[in-house]
Amino acid sequence: MRALIQRVSHASVTVEGERVGEIEKGLLVLLGVGPQDTEKQADFLAEKCANLRIFTDENDKMNLSLLDIGGEMLVVSQFTLYADCRKGRRPSFVGAASPAEADRLYEYFQQKVREIGVSKVGHGKFGASMQVELLNNGPVTIMLDTDDTYYTSDYYISAEDYNAILAQYYSTSEVSGWEHGTYNGVDYWYDRNYYGSAYAAYTAGQEAVAHWVHDTTTGN
């Protein structure tokens, strides 16, 4: 799953002369879905978009997330993010998911962002010809791709690191400079400077343990 994120002062999307979605300060997210994507990739990307610290604080440093500033999000489906331009002059889009599955995960992504806490989530119309207007503030434009940042070989941890991973993500005692969080009944401390939220830290810990199990059971 791919998301092209733009930090905007405002953005809107129009279909057949009707404005169907608009936001003020926040993020415009152009979302593309690949054929192997599932809810897991959508969960990861929704959390990443909501917690990415790309808004400036009182010192004009990128240190605040969309959730921190109470910002809004406009999500627009964008299968052309999967364009393959390696051959010829006409892009191929065979790397994109089927329309039905892409639409399902597009809707799921929006719902997940709302659950995480984004107050307003606007959207376009899947499959329609859309006109998107925006004022990019910065400019700040970032590409996220779960194929690069999620299930890669570099993400796997060794058995030797297992206890260290548990200590890092699920510490039950206070660690200097860390913040306290509770999620899904797990009580732990996490590094706020690395993970934008308790949810992010919890998810990272769960995935790290899952990959450790994968390593030890498959020998990879």
- Supply the pLDDT for residue 36: 87
- Supply the pLDDT for residue 158: 42
- Supply the pLDDT for residue 97: 94
Instruction: Give the confidence band of 44 by pLDDT, cuts at 50, 70, 90.
Output: confident
Q: Where are the alpha helices (DSSP H) in 117-181?
A: 146-149, 162-169
DSSP-derived secondary structure letter, 126: T
- CA distances from residue 19 to 6, 13, 62, 79 in whole angstroms, order as listed: 19, 6, 31, 21
Q: Which of 80, 141, 152, 182 is catalytic?
A: 80
77-81, 93-97, 178-182, 203-207: segment of lowest average pLDDT: 203-207
What is the chain's mean pLDDT, rounded? 81
Read off the pLDDT of each residue in 189-203 and give the average, rounded to a whole number: 63
**Sequence-distant (≥ 6) Cβ neighbours of residue 11 within 8 angstroms:** 22, 23, 26, 28, 74, 132, 133, 134, 135
Instruction: Give the confidence band of 40 by pLDDT, cuts at 50, 70, 90.
Output: confident
User: Helix, strand, coil shares of the chain as percentages rounded to 5?
Assistant: 35, 30, 35
**Sequence-distant (≥ 6) Cβ neighbours of residue 133 within 8 angstroms:** 11, 12, 13, 14
Query: Residue 210 in 3-state DSSP?
Result: helix
Read off the pLDDT of each residue in 122-139 and give the average, rounded to a whole number: 95
**Can you tell me which residue has the tokens 């503030």?**
137
Read off the pLDDT of each residue in 81-86 and give the average, rounded to a whole number: 93
Q: Is 183 a residue whose pLDDT tops 70?
A: no
Summarize pLDDT for 45-74 with one digit per residue, the tens: 999 999 999 999 999 999 999 999 999 999
Q: Is 179 a residue whose pLDDT tops 90?
A: no
Domains of the chain: 2-149 (3.50.80.10), 153-218 (no CATH)
Contact between 131 and 14 (Cβ < 8 Å): yes
- CA distances from residue 22 to 14, 106, 114, 120 in whole angstroms, order as listed: 9, 17, 16, 10
**What pTM did the predictor assign?**
0.68
- Supply the pLDDT for residue 146: 82
CA distance 154 to 145: 15
Has 80 been annotated as catalytic? yes
**Sequence-distant (≥ 6) Cβ neighbours of residue 135 within 8 angstroms:** 8, 9, 10, 11
- Supply the pLDDT for residue 193: 65
Instruction: Give the confidence band of 147 by pLDDT, cuts at 50, 70, 90.
Output: confident
- Residue 63: is it exposed, middle or buried by C-beta count within 10 angstroms (0-12/13-18/19+)? middle
- CA distances from residue 205 to 47, 112, 190, 198, 210 in whole angstroms, order as listed: 14, 19, 10, 11, 9
14-18, 147-151, 156-160, 178-182: segment of lowest average pLDDT: 156-160
